[in-house]
Amino acid sequence: MRRSGAGMTRPAPCEIDRRRLLAGAASLLAAVALPAERTAAGVAAVPAGGLSLGELAAAKGLLFGASFATHELDKPYGASYAATYAREARMVTSELELKLYTMRPKATALDFGPADRLVLFAREHGLALHGHNLIWNDALPDWIRRLGPDEAAFLMDTHITTVLERYRADIPTWDVVNEPIAPWDRLPGNLRGGVFYAALGEGYIAESFRVARRVAPQARLFLNEAQTESDDENGAVFRASLLALAKRLKAEGAPVDGIGLECHLDSRRPYDFPRFAAFVEELAAEGFEIAISELDVNDVAFPADPAERDRKVADVYRRFLAAVLPVKAVRRLTLWQIADHTSWMYYDDVRLHPKALRRPRPLPFDERFRRKAAWSAIAEALDAMPPR
Ligand code: XIL
């Protein structure tokens, strides 16, 4: 994370994802094919009986899942990773597979490999899929960043069309535009700049949704945004900017079905979760379905002791979900990965601090896929929430 202007937090771009994705492609499907029962090595026993998070959520009419990265299947723990999703989740979100730098590394190459693999995994395990994402002014290969306005507008329409034509039968919900707000870019509406904005101005957003609706009329189309949660100036600016954008899109009839709120919670920031829930209600009152789309808890400011840290992280999940799950418009809850060592925070930490003894513990499963305190906190919140 980099700070940029007025306390805004601009996420650092990550160029290594494509290499990560491709690293193990040779052993394609080796792990996918393993049934859950054959994953004993390295997996702690899950208590017999009892419902999974996905089952607890489904009982309330909420779709529960997590982002999923196919390259994890090629790791020594790949079978355990697969089994954890098969057991706990009802849906998976593509973490890297559909991003532009994965699919279009070069102007002359279109790579469906990772996304096809994800579709196959979801099908084999009976998991729903959420497509993340079609258009984002990040995760772009350099050749797209250099496009002129006409080329960028053409690519935008072509990309949405090509991807939806291929996957519309398998992927029912999509983040059509990701993270359109970036106050540090100092553009009208606090919109984020980039090639698509340069080509069409704010209109790139509505146009993306219109193309998506035309190509995949059955799909549920989402706008996804970050940083709306914190009870500080940053959160307030993101909330106001997103609400205003959502209202403008609605006013011009753009086919936006829902809003995804990422909710990467951070131990360094202040929160007032009931106040955030009031904002979620406000968005919902405009007629949008709501998804909590990328939930995790950055524990960097919590104590070093792992057990104590796990309790603190669990407490954030507990308080956040207790405030937000009562909002009936929230129909999907997605964690950003499922186990600590497969989190983006863990990867970043290893890259930035290779020798550190302490590693992030942001998720409900540990490095051996054992349930942690956060698992219980989420389970209890799902159990206590009102049904949809
Ligand atoms: C992240 C992935 O988790 C990382 O592996 C990658 O290096 C960068 O992107 N907001 C989003 C997600 O919408 O796509 C980002 O995912 C996290 C922030």
Residue range 118-140, pLDDT digits in tens? 999 999 999 999 999 999 999 99
Task: Kindly report the number of other CB atoms within 10 A of residue 187's CB atom.
Answer: 16
To test ligand 1's pocket by mutation, which of 92, 130, 294 has the most ligand atoms within 8 angstroms of CB? 294
Task: Give the atom of ligand 1 at the shortest distance from the alpha carbon of 175.
Answer: 13
Peptide bond into 133 cis (omega under 30): yes
pLDDT value of residue 2: 41
- Tell how far the Cα of 110 is from the centroid of ligand 1, in angstroms: 21
The yes-or-no verdict on residue 46 having pLDDT over 80 is: no
Determine whether 377 is exposed, middle or buried from the number of CB atoms within 10 Å of its CB (0-12, 13-18, 19+): buried
Q: Is the distance from the beta carbon of residue 1 to the nearest atom of ligand 1 less than 6 Å?
A: no
In the chain, % of residues over pLDDT 70: 87
* Sign of the alpha-carbon dihedral angle for 288, 179, 274, 346: positive
pLDDT band at 22 (very low <50, low <70, confident <90, very high): low
Residues 108-113: contacts with CB under 8 Å, at least 24 apart: 110/162, 112/166, 113/25
User: Which of 344, 351, 363, when mutated, tests ligand 1's pocket best, judged by the most ligand atoms within 8 Å of its CB?
Assistant: 344
Q: What is the pLDDT of residue 35?
A: 36
Question: What is the distance in A from the centroid of ligand 1 to the CA of 196?
Answer: 19
For residue 296 and ligand 1, the question of a CB distance below 6 A is answered with no
Question: In this structure, are strands 173-178 and 220-225 parallel, antiparallel, or unpaired?
Answer: parallel
Q: Is the CB of 93 under 6 A from ligand 1?
A: no
> How far lies 19's CA from each of 12, 32, 114, 194, in Å?
17, 20, 12, 24
Mean pLDDT of the chain: 91
Least confident of 41-55, 246-260, 305-319, 325-339: 41-55
Q: How far apart are CA 7 and CA 234, in angstroms?
A: 6
Q: Does the beta carbon of 310 lie inside 6 Å of ligand 1? A: no
Please, what's the largest Cα pairwise distance for the chain?
58
Token digits of residue 251: 């006013």
Residue 7 has pLDDT above 90, yes or no: no
- Quote the pLDDT of residue 50: 86
Ligand 1 contact, 284 CB (< 6 A): no
Alpha carbon of 344 to ligand 1 centroid (Å): 7
Q: Is the CB of 344 under 6 A from ligand 1?
A: yes
By the 8 A CB rule, do 246 and 284 touch? no
CA separation for the pair 327, 213 (Å, rounded): 27
Classify domain 50-384 at the CATH topology level: TIM Barrel (3.20.20)
Q: By CB neighbour count within 10 A (0-12 exposed, 13-18 middle, 19+ buried), where does 15 fall?
A: exposed
Q: What are phi and psi of 7, to 5 degrees?
A: 70, 15
* Nearest atom, ligand 1, residue 16 CA: 7
Q: What percent of the chain has pLDDT over 90?
A: 87
CA distances from 100 to 41, 53, 95, 214, 244 (A): 35, 31, 12, 21, 27
In angstroms, what is the span from residue 139 Cα to ligand 1's centroid? 8
Q: Whose CA is nearest to atom 16 of ligand 1?
A: 95
Please spell the DSSP secondary structure of 305-319, one letter per residue: SHHHHHHHHHHHHHH
Q: What are the pLDDT digits (tens) for 195-222?
A: 999 999 999 999 999 999 999 999 999 9
Give residue-wise pLDDT tens across range 152-174: 999 999 999 999 999 999 999 99
Question: Is residue 334 in contact with ligand 1, taking CB distance under 6 Å?
Answer: no
What is the secondary structure of 69-125 as a DSSP string?
-GGGGGSTTHHHHHHHHHHH-SEEEESSTTSHHHH-SSTT----HHHHHHHHHHHHH
